[in-house]
Amino acid sequence: KYMFLGEKDYQQLYLIKKFIKNKFNTKVIACKTLRNKNSLPYSSRNFLLKKNYLFKASKISKMIKNFKQQIKKNFKKINELKKIKKDIERIGVDIEYLEIRNKNNFTKNINKKNFKIFIAYYINKVRLIDNF
């Protein structure tokens, strides 16, 4: 009757909701991403990283969280995405993608209330994903 899925992989959650909607009598309930005190989302992949890499990942999460807060205060800050990407790359990670999308349909048609920031990157060959 109910399916509980985490928002950590928001794109996956979106696709599962869409798939289940018309095929099953099941309600998908999104659960907030659980994060540690350093803003890093809990993930089994974190166990594959040494302490110094976890520190880098935490730093990235904090940067994106802060960036989202800045955008909420001043939507023009959204134009600083390339700068944030360069700042993250300086930490020493390979970014697969860093995008701001409409959280309802994943288009680039965004406003102050409907956007999410999505990132996938590699640290020491471990792929991490996150969204804010």
Query: How far apart, in whole angstroms, are the C-alpha atoms of residue 80 and residue 53?
Result: 25
Distances in Å between the Cα of 58 and the Cα atoms of 10, 14, 83, 105, 125 are: 19, 25, 18, 28, 17
Per-residue pLDDT tens digits for 26-83 = 999 999 999 999 999 999 999 999 999 999 999 999 999 999 999 999 999 999 999 9
Output the pTM of the full model: 0.87
Q: According to the model, what pLDDT value does residue 8 have?
A: 85
Give the dihedral sign, CA 41/46/49/50: positive
Six token digits for residue 99: 């995008």
Residues 131 and 119 sit within 8 Å (Cβ to Cβ): yes
Q: What integer is the mean pLDDT of 123-129?
A: 95
